[in-house]
């Protein structure tokens, strides 16, 4: 008897129609596409985006050029030279080069930084057209937003 039932079901394409009903139901269901440039899905606040240096409330750079991040980095992205002006309590980085194209966003530098100077920003638009756009010098480590995009792919024809 079961075989007959199976034959009838297969003859009248029951499994096919079942599949068609599923796609029809999903045809009318809510779409998940987020239309990117108009609506941007904000990444979570702990998102590991572009690394940025920070300043304290007086505008003084927090970085004391201790090179802890340079040592912790597995892919040698950092190249830091510190100098101590007379009368200052801490060294200040004269040269702070960071190669974005070598960085694997592992987060070791952020963890070892004693003064919490270097942190992940939530910036995920990291595409650039210039090779040296991917190399950030000391002052370029602070820029964010549109002038960051200018630095990454400056001179690109597309109107901003």
CA-based nearest residue to 143, from 80, 84, 98: 98
Task: State the residues that interact with other proteins by CB under 8 A.
Answer: 10, 15-16, 18-20, 22-24, 26-27, 29-33, 35, 43-44, 46-48, 72, 74, 104-108, 112, 120
CB of 127: closest distance to other proteins in angstroms?
17
CB of 12: closest distance to other proteins in angstroms?
10
CA-based nearest residue to 69, from 33, 111, 15: 111
Q: How many CB atoms lie within 10 A of CB 40?
A: 11
Helical H segments across the chain, by residue range: 2-11, 14-27, 68-72, 108-112, 145-152
Residue 2 vs 30, nearer CB to other proteins: 30
CB of 75: closest distance to other proteins in angstroms?
9
Greatest Cα pair distance in the chain: 97
CB of 2: closest distance to other proteins in angstroms?
15
Residue 55 in tokens: 């300043």
d(CA 95, CA 82): 7
Residue 6 vs 130, nearer CB to other proteins: 6
Residue 20 vs 129, nearer CB to other proteins: 20
């Amino acid at each position: 008897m079961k075989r007959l039932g199976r034959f009838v079901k297969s003859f009248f394409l029951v499994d096919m129609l079942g599949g068609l009903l599923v796609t029809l139901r999903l045809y009318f269901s809510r779409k998940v596409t987020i239309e990117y440039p108009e609506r941007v899905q904000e990444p979570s606040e702990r998102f590991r985006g572009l690394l940025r240096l920070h300043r304290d409330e007086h505008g003084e750079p927090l970085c004391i050029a201790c090179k802890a991040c340079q040592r912790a980095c597995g892919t040698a992205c950092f190249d830091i030279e510190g100098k101590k002006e007379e009368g200052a309590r801490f060294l200040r980085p004269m040269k702070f080069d960071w190669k974005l194209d070598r960085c694997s966003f592992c987060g070791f530098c952020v963890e070892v930084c004693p003064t919490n100077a270097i942190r992940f920003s939530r910036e995920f638009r990291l595409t650039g057209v210039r090779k040296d756009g991917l190399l950030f010098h000391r002052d370029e480590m602070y820029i964010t937003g549109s002038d960051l995009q200018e630095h990454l792919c400056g001179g690109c024809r597309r109107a901003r």
